[in-house]
């Protein structure tokens, strides 16, 4: 077996264990393989090993890779998730080539993605990125603005609001990793109580997936544990 397929299997097992420890069905946690900076060949290898959904951060790199994979392996029907910061001039490419966007954090970007979603494609699945650690430098909408953004996004015809996403500040102590994820789960439950039809909590990366799963993640975004360390 290749390294990638071995890693993938190990990550799948890890997710299933973490879900079981949290009394959750393993199938309630989906794996998004984060392939940013990885060559098309690595994605194809993971796809041949059964991985379906891939996450990318950089629009140009991603679109080139998506097109390359379509040429090399036209039989693969992959699901592409955009998870990086979004500049206005990148929305057209993202709206045309992706199935999901996890990093919508302002109205202007949401409106552009909706307008630029090509006719004939289903609405783009959207998560609102929450600035859960309150870092000034990080992207993400602040807690007070979430409801307003959720309302806007849920009314845009080219988008389908699916849930929330966050990248908490890195924390080495596994005990302390839980708090921001718990806050995310509370926000998610609050929006659902207000009538928003959400089914997705995108949280947890290689270093903190256990805590995220314990607190209710439905998508974990894993790069390093599958593809190895990035440069
Ligand atoms: C790179 C990245 C990941 C994957 O991180 P790993 O630590 O390699 O698992 C997940 N989410 C986002 C938003 C990222 O940019």
Identify the CATH number of the domain in which residue 150 sits. Answer: 3.20.20.10
pTM score above 0.85 = yes
Q: What percent of the chain has pLDDT over 90?
A: 94
Residue nearest to atom 13 of ligand 1 (CA): 83
Structural domain including 120 reads 3-227
Can you list the alpha helix ranges (DSSP code H) found in the chain?
3-21, 40-48, 59-72, 91-97, 107-116, 146-155, 178-193, 209-214, 224-227
Question: Which of 205, 222, 230 to mutate to test ligand 1, by most ligand atoms within 8 A of the CB atom?
Answer: 205
CA of 140 to the centre of ligand 1 (A): 15
pLDDT tens across 136-154, in order? Answer: 656 899 988 999 999 999 9
Count how many domains the chain has. 1
Cα 210 to Cα 7, 102, 132, 133, 220, distances in angstroms: 16, 20, 18, 18, 10
User: Could you tell me the distance, in angstroms and rounded to a whole number, from the CA of residue 36 to the centre of ligand 1?
Assistant: 8
pLDDT in tens, 22-51: 999 999 999 999 999 999 999 999 999 999
Which atom of ligand 1 is found nearest the CA of 34? 4
pLDDT of 5 > 90? The answer is yes
Q: Among 30, 37, 55, 100, which residue has the most ligand 1 atoms within 8 Å of its CB, making it the best to mutate?
A: 55
Q: Which residue has the higher pLDDT, 143 or 104?
A: 104
Task: Name 62's Cβ contacts closer than 8 Å, sequence gap at least 6.
Answer: 36, 56, 80, 82, 97, 98
pLDDT for 135 beyond 80: no
| Separation of CA 27 and ligand 1 centre (Å) | 21
Task: Give the separation between CA 223 and CA 230, rounded to whole angstroms.
Answer: 9
Q: Which residues line ligand 1 (CB under 6 A)?
A: 34, 36, 57, 83, 167, 205-207, 221-224
Nearest CA to ligand 1 atom 4: 223
Look at residue 16 and tell me whether its pLDDT is greater than 70: yes
Instruction: Specify whether the CB–CB gap between 60 and 94 falls below 8 A.
Output: no
Question: Which one-letter DSSP state was computed for residue 218?
Answer: S
What is the rounded average pLDDT for all residues in the chain? Answer: 96
CA of residue 28 to ligand 1 center, whole Å: 20
Residue 43 sits at φ, ψ, to 5 deg, of -65, -45
At 157-213, the pLDDT tens digits run 999 999 999 999 999 999 999 999 999 999 999 999 999 999 999 999 999 999 999
Distance from the alpha carbon of residue 120 to the mean position of ligand 1, in angstroms: 31
Which residue puts its alpha carbon closest to atom 12 of ligand 1?
83
């Amino acid at each position: 077996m290749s390294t990638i397929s071995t890693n993938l299997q190990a990550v799948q097992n890890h997710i299933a264990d973490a879900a079981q420890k949290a009394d959750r069905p393993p199938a309630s946690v989906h794996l998004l393989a984060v392939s940013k900076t990885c060559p098309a060949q690595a994605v194809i290898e993971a796809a041949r090993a059964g991985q379906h959904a891939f996450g990318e951060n950089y629009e140009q790199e991603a679109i080139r890779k998506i097109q390359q994979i379509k040429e090399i392996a036209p039989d693969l029907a992959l699901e592409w998730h955009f998870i990086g910061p979004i500049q206005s001039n990148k929305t057209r490419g993202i709206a045309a080539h992706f199935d999901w966007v996890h990093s919508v954090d302002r109205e202007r970007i949401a409106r552009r993605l909706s307008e630029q979603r090509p006719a004939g494609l289903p609405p783009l699945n959207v998560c609102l990125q929450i600035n859960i650690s309150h870092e000034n430098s990080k992207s993400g909408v602040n807690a007070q603005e979430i409801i307003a953004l959720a309302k806007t996004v849920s009314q845009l015809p080219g988008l389908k609001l699916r849930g929330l996403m966050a990248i908490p500040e890195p924390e080495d102590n596994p005990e302390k990793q839980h708090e921001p994820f718990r806050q995310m789960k509370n926000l998610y439950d609050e929006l659902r109580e207000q009538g928003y039809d959400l089914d997705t909590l995108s949280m947890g990366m290689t270093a903190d997936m256990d805590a995220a799963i314990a607190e209710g993640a439905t998508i974990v975004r894993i790069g390093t544990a599958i593809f190895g360390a990035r440069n």
